[in-house]
A and B are shown apart, each in its own frame.
Chain A
Amino acid sequence: MPDKPKVAFYWCASCGGCEESVVDLAENILDVVAAVDIVMWPVAMDFKKRDVEAMPDGSILVSLVNGAIRTSEQEEMAKLMRRKSKLVIAYGSCAHLGGIPGLANQFQRDEILRYVYDGSPSTVNAEQMRPEVKCTVDNNTVNLPSFFQVVRALDQVIDVDYYLPGCPPTAKLLKQALDVLLSGTLPEKGSILAPDIALCDECPKKDTKPSDLKFTEFKRPHMTRIDPATCLLAQGIVCMGPATRGGCEGLCIAGNMPCTGCFGPTSRVKDQGAKILSALASQVDAKEEKEIDTILATIPDPVGTFYRYSLPVSLLRRKIS
């Protein structure tokens, strides 16, 4: 019997939700396990880095890497997986766009370390200790990964063949992607394995979206009783649907929560945050500067709202000091 194709999973700066989404394949996971050999999956299996290092270059058919790149260890592992794999898929929002960890690009490295090791209310650190890359204890040297100044999406570190968007990607999209890859007919390199049209197109509330929204106030979901039958934008709620790729089938919308943009933009858009800013702000119902500002002030955190998942791949990438 010929060898089964080898598949690897790896995680970088992520929350574990992407791992969960693989398990969400439910009984389909049995088909996957039957069709492939999983050679690396830190969350579920006991393969080590040295096992992967021992494999010939390019011997893994596909590696699904989730998480952003934040530390030198993640960079090293991403490069190792790249070398050993024919195909690398950026799996989930963090690998695809930088994701939630990418919001750390609003802060300087020192600010983050200061808060985590001193400032946060639950921290006791009278010696003001900081992690060292190298530390010698009783003649033994211990190495720690270094913590980068910039959070990066996977394709800012290694060459990526395909992207599976979502926080996390849906089991349906993962199943489709695996089926396509195992079938041998590969999509064009660089493809994002989801529909290339805005979420509004598949939104269950689409018919109630007025052509001209007139925002007099932006409401956050906890501030209002949401009408489940009406377009969230028409209710004054910031919904990223118009600037976000579909494919999730409106999961959040169906749960009466607005889209926060985890699938990233469609192929026609370079900068998701700029695009949703443009779409929302231009429809503010005021003509005087002061009045406009008052309405726009109801969006308290434009960067965190519009670039919830995509700050590292945005045109400006991070806050400058």
Chain B
Amino acid sequence: MAFFCNWCTYTAADLAGVSRLRHAPNARIIRVMCSGRVDPQFILDAFAKGADGVLVGGCHPGDCHYMEGNYKALRRIRLLKRMLKDMGIAEQRFRLEWISASEGERVKTVINEMTEQVKALGPLGYPKKFEEWDKEMESLEQAVHGEEEAVHA
């Protein structure tokens, strides 16, 4: 899952497209107005809904269309990175990159690199984990009912 800012990274991804650069097809890009708009909830939600990696792309420091947005993104992401590590998510699954509108080539490199790293880690698979975790209650119910039935028999 990739969140790209409208003014720089998304434009760069566009440029990569019109320049016919080939990159891994694994990134689903969502355009946001600014990397500062990327609420940490979006990133957690992406993981929870099954993303194996999350990439945030914004303008280089000093180039933000809204002056400060990318700095806010940087600060949030520095702390979020630590928090995700504490939650057991490998560091390579979450990345912030500054890519300006002219850096189509960089979009290609970053997406390819990250795809390779995430592939090497294998699926993260939160939705499946949630299902598995909740089986522990079902199995108890079966055990209890099974026992009750055995008693009745």
Contacts and interface: CB of A to CB of B under 8 A. Distances in A.
Interface of A: 72, 75-76, 106, 146, 148-150, 157, 269-271, 273-275, 277-278, 280-284, 286-287, 289, 292-293, 296, 299, 301-303, 306, 314-321
Contact of A287 (B41, B71, B136, B137): B71
B75 A281 contact: yes
B41 A274 contact: yes
B79 A277 contact: yes
Nearest to A288: B61
B133 A150 contact: yes
Given A292-B74, A315-B41, A299 B136 contact: no
Nearest to B49: A315
Interface residues of B, number: 33
A302 B82 CA distance: 8
Interface string B21-53: 000000000000000100111011101100000
Contacts of B111: none
Interface in B122-153: 126, 129-130, 133-134, 136-137, 140, 144
A282 B86 contact: no
Given A270-B45, A303-B87, A146 B76 contact: no
Contact of B83 (A282, A286, A306): A306
16 contacts: A76-B144, A150-B134, A157-B137, A270-B41, A274-B43, A275-B41, A281-B80, A289-B78, A296-B78, A301-B86, A302-B82, A303-B83, A315-B41, A316-B47, A318-B133, A319-B86
B119 interface: no
